[in-house]
Amino acid sequence: MSHFSNKIAVVTGAGRGIGQEIARTLAAQGAKVAVLSRNPASCAQAAESINADFPGTATAYAVDVADHEAVQEVAKRIGEELGTVNILVNNAGVTRDGLLMRMKEEDWDTVLDTNLKGAFNTVKAFMRVLMKAQDPRIINIASVIGLIGNPGQTNYSASKAGLIGFTKAVARELAGRSVTCNAVAPGFIDTDMTGELPPAIKDAVLAKIPLGSFGATQDIAAMVAFLASPAARYITGQVIAVDGGMTM
């Protein structure tokens, strides 16, 4: 499958987990991928691992998406080094969990700055390029927590719910230029993040998932690849939950 030959994709938070899987899947289907992560080591490692399987497809760019100016600069570099971006995937996300009563202001700000402002920064940096690109796509990785909330995650819930509203507004603003903008809301996915959950919590979560299991990073990557493909040209402003039925 080479849906994406001649296409250039930018994936944020691509150093590990879901982001890396998305970058790998797009590379496997022929895209040149800019692998973005604020951790230079995991960023380089992810690109190296993708290039080992799909030579010459991945380039690492270490950048903190919460830093507006740094994102503007990296967008310029990507344009010069790779060319016109067709696909932007906003996957960068952090958690700073804690009950609201005890949550520090900086834990609120860090999560909102990365998860929500980060998407604002990247869309702002790439939107002019996307408007001129072929089959332009913006795909934001939200979360079921942005749809249903979760105790101990007011900051994360707010950031992901905000990302959903942002997705719909961007979809309306850019529709006239044929840029689609959609959100994918993963449920509980097997990653480093969920791997740290105590067994009792895991069991409680599994009880709420009709399909009875956690998802895989490939499940999210497959949905992103579909939304980025020409087959999804008539889908915009949507939030698609990939969650085993958890939020139905």
> Block means of pLDDT (10 residues each) for the chain, length 248 residues?
88 96 97 97 97 97 98 98 98 95 97 98 98 97 96 96 98 97 96 78 91 96 97 97 96
Q: Residue with structure tokens 């996300």?
A: 93
Place of tokens 């971006």: 85
Beta carbons of 130 and 136 less than 8 angstroms apart: yes
In the three-class reduction of DSSP (H, G, I as helix; E, B as strand; rest coil), residue 11 is classed as: strand
Tell me what pLDDT residue 197 has: 79
Q: Is residue 61 annotated as part of the catalytic site, yes or no?
A: no
Considering the entire predicted model, what is its pTM?
A: 0.96
Residue 55, judged by CB atoms within 10 A of its CB (0-12, 13-18, 19+), counts as exposed
**Residue 197 structural domain:** 8-242
Q: Does 88 reside within a domain? A: yes
Q: Is 202 among the domain residues?
A: yes
**What are the distances in angstroms from CA 248 to CA 4, 29, 111, 244?**
32, 31, 26, 9
Asked if residue 247 belongs to a domain, the reply is: no
Q: In what order do the strands lie in the sheet with 239-242?
A: 58-62, 32-37, 8-11, 87-90, 137-141, 180-186, 239-242
- Is 1 part of a structural domain of the chain? no
If one counts the domains in the chain, the total is 1
Domain membership flag for residue 126: yes
- Between β-strands 32-37 and 58-62, what pairing exists: parallel, antiparallel or unpaired? parallel
Would you say residue 3 lies in a domain?
Answer: no
The answer to whether residues 53 and 133 touch, using CB atoms and an 8 Å cutoff, is no
- The residue annotated as part of the active site, out of 120, 156, 166, 188, is 156
**DSSP summary character for residue 85:** -
| CATH assignment at residue 45 | 3.40.50.720
Please state the separation of Cα 128 from the chain's center in Å.
20
140 phi, psi to nearest 5 deg: -105, 130
